[in-house]
Structure 1
Amino acid sequence: MELWGCLSSLMDQPRWVLAVFAIGFLSLLKTSIAVIHWLFVSFIRRGKNLKRYGSWAVITGATDGIGRALAFQLARRGLNLVLVGRSPDKLRDVTAAITEKYNKVRIETVLIDFAGDLVEGVARLKTAIEGMDVGILVNNAGISYPYAKYFHEVDEVLIENLIKVNVEGVTRVTHAVLPGMVERKRGAILNIGSGVAAVLPSEPLYAVYAATKSYVDQFSKCLYVEYKDIGIDVQCQVPLYVATKMSSIRRSSFFVPSADTYARATVDWIGYEPRCTPYWPHSLVWTLVSLLPVAAVDKWRLGFCQNIRKRGMRKESRKEK
């Protein structure tokens, strides 16, 4: 009776009060569902059995940072590896290190200089994987600026390399590996994007890099829709800062994980959402940024990147002297 009385009293209110109440209730319900979903995918949901996609994984940029760490994690899951890189010495080193720890894993290496003769390199990759049951492709190879720069300060060579490595490289390697997955009707493609293309509204002083990562994000979403119905899962992961050589961050922290910590989170998300941030503290930052006014975030990023530019210019000046 008391509940019925409350409902009757509510129904007697003006329509605008009912509308505000309904909006508030729906907002609370939506937020509650979002929080429950985040808790589930971040702490409860288990990673997929990656071997069901196939027995081999191709990893580009496998000699350093996230790519190297992912190679170890996929070997730990029992997958054979095709490691792609531009340095023969580094490829030998990472092969030896993985083999020492996981001696049952088979490893092949392919030389590709993504900023060099990319077409010839991808042709070598196609030959190397012919007849292989490649179940997972990790497009990790990428480059960024040496430090933050205004667009007019970026030289033409860097612009060309950014587009060639980050855009053309991902496109050509995917085009080489995907037909085998289509034939077998199973596979997973993981493209390593960046938070600058999804989390942040803009990344001033890194304009070309951010634009190339936006391409990776949109490319991944389109392929996800094209191929999901035939058993191929395409995903773009958008990490924030990770302590790697490319980010120029040496020390890891709670919000800036090491490459190994990030890679452990990465493998548990392969095959799920088309876009994700697998390291859960990064998702907290993403939520916070989404609540702030775009103008405020843009102003913060501009000041932050201007400081990076100043430090980079000082370091460059010392080298010249």
Structure 2
Amino acid sequence: MAGCLLHQLKSQPSWVIFLFAIGSFTLLRTLLGVLIWVYINFLRPPKNLKKYGSWAVVTGPTDGIGKGFAFQLARKGVNLILVGRNPDKLKDVCDQIKSKNSNTQIKTVVVDFSGDLDEGVKRVKEAIEGLDVGILINNVGVSYPYARYFHEVDEQLLNNLIKVNVEGTSKITHAVLPTMVKKRKGAIVNIGSGAAIVIPSDPLYSVYAATKAYIDQFSRCLYVEYKNMGIDVQCQVPLYVATKMASIKRSSFFVPSTDGYAKAGIRHIGYEPRCTPYWPHSFLWGIASCVPEIFIDAWRLRFCLGIRKRGQLKDSRKKE
């Protein structure tokens, strides 16, 4: 059969043979991409996280994705340094983790990422001194209360977005990284957002999306800088997750719970510099990449305008 096909091709014009070759190459490339995707998401074994070190630093661990990561790391036998703003919430999370993982050692550090960040970073440096810190989860972040045009963003929100999402992540990484460089191993996970990577634009969330684009580029550069030093740097790019920040209460197939996302996230630590760990999210990313940007922009603007309208209505009711 193959010989017959080859004979038929030889009798065709050169342009037909060229198109056949291009089509075959595209088909093989697509098939290879699917096989790699299946391997990464379902077959590839996770790394032994304790090989990086016995301690992990997690920022923003009192809620959302950060809390999910804290629980998952404890289940893997990694001790925790939890960095957050509210001491009462830090204690609650600490108690919850210890109730399920009694052997886990936990230290808490109070840092207001929108306040005196330098003083907070100093406390983090003191907390990690002498510890075998191998993992850093940069999860802390803030978003808009609801969608709004850029000129409607007040100065305090603007400052908080930049200070927490950009400066906070950068300075915590700068504080923890020397420990990893010294022992020439470690893993840094920065939590990005599909708002900055997956979709071409995120109207009415412009500053938030821009700060997450910074996280993506920051991570990629550090990945190249420190790979030869045994330090794996990664930007994880989730889409919607059932968190307070996303204003989503219930999880679903395409919107995982924080624990569901963290389970997937843990499996990807130490591999690609950018990834979407929850496989239904990566499936949606693949679909989005095939849709012309003009259609996604129009859909996203309409979607965010709806969020803005509901948010404004809620604000007006509070003032009454």
TM-score, normalisation: structure 2: 0.99
Q: Deviations over 1:136-164 (max 9, x none)?
A: 00000000000000001111111110000
For 1:11 and 1:233, the matched residues in 2 are separated by: 50
- 1:179 partner SS: helix
After TM superposition, list the pairs within 5 Å mapping 1:97-136 onto structure 2: 97-136=96-135
Q: Match of 1:156?
A: 155
- 1:122 partner letter: V
Q: Match of 1:48?
A: 47
Q: Match of 2:69?
A: 70
- 2:315 partner SS: helix
- 2:63 partner letter: D
After TM superposition, list the pairs within 5 Å mapping 1:191-206 onto structure 2: 191-206=190-205
- 1:291 partner SS: coil
For 2:293 and 2:282, the matched residues in 1 are separated by: 18
* Identity between Structure 1 and Structure 2 (%): 64
Q: Deviations over 1:177-215 (max 9, x none)?
A: 001100100000000000011100000000000000000
Q: Match of 1:81?
A: 80
Q: Match of 1:174?
A: 173
Cα displacement (A) at 1:5 = 3.6
Matched, 1:286 2:288: no
Q: Deviations over 1:27-53 (max 9, x none)?
A: 101100010011111111121100000
- 2:258 partner letter: A
Q: Match of 1:245?
A: 244
- In structure 2, the gaps of 5 or more residues are none
- 2:239 partner SS: coil
Matched, 1:318 2:317: yes
Q: Match of 1:304?
A: 303
Between 1:95-104 and 1:136-145, the stretch displaced more is: 95-104
For 1:267 and 1:116, the matched residues in 2 are separated by: 30
- 2:301 partner letter: L
Q: Deviations over 1:236-263 (max 9, x none)?
A: 0000000001001101111111101111
Between 1:253-262 and 1:12-21, the stretch displaced more is: 12-21
- 2:189 partner SS: strand
- In structure 1, the gaps of 5 or more residues are none
Q: Match of 2:265?
A: 266
Matched, 1:21 2:20: yes
For 1:197 and 1:100, the matched residues in 2 are separated by: 37
For 2:293 and 2:15, the matched residues in 1 are separated by: 30
Cα displacement (A) at 1:8 = 2.7
- 2:151 partner letter: H
After TM superposition, list the pairs within 5 Å mapping 1:25-36 onto structure 2: 25-36=24-35
For 2:124 and 2:221, the matched residues in 1 are separated by: 24
Number of residue-to-residue matches in the alignment: 320
Cα displacement (A) at 1:284 = 1.0
- 2:289 partner SS: helix
Q: Match of 2:138?
A: 139
Q: Match of 1:10?
A: 9
Q: Match of 2:220?
A: 221
Q: Deviations over 1:88-147 (max 9, x none)?
A: 000110011111111111000001100000011001100110111100000000000000
For 1:3 and 1:203, the matched residues in 2 are separated by: 50
Q: Deviations over 1:282-308 (max 9, x none)?
A: 111101100000000000000000000
Q: Match of 2:229?
A: 230
For 2:23 and 2:61, the matched residues in 1 are separated by: 49
Q: CA RMSD in A?
A: 0.8
Moved over 2 A (4+): 2-6
- 1:138 partner SS: strand
- 2:281 partner letter: H
Q: Deviations over 1:57-91 (max 9, x none)?
A: 00000111111111010000000000000000001
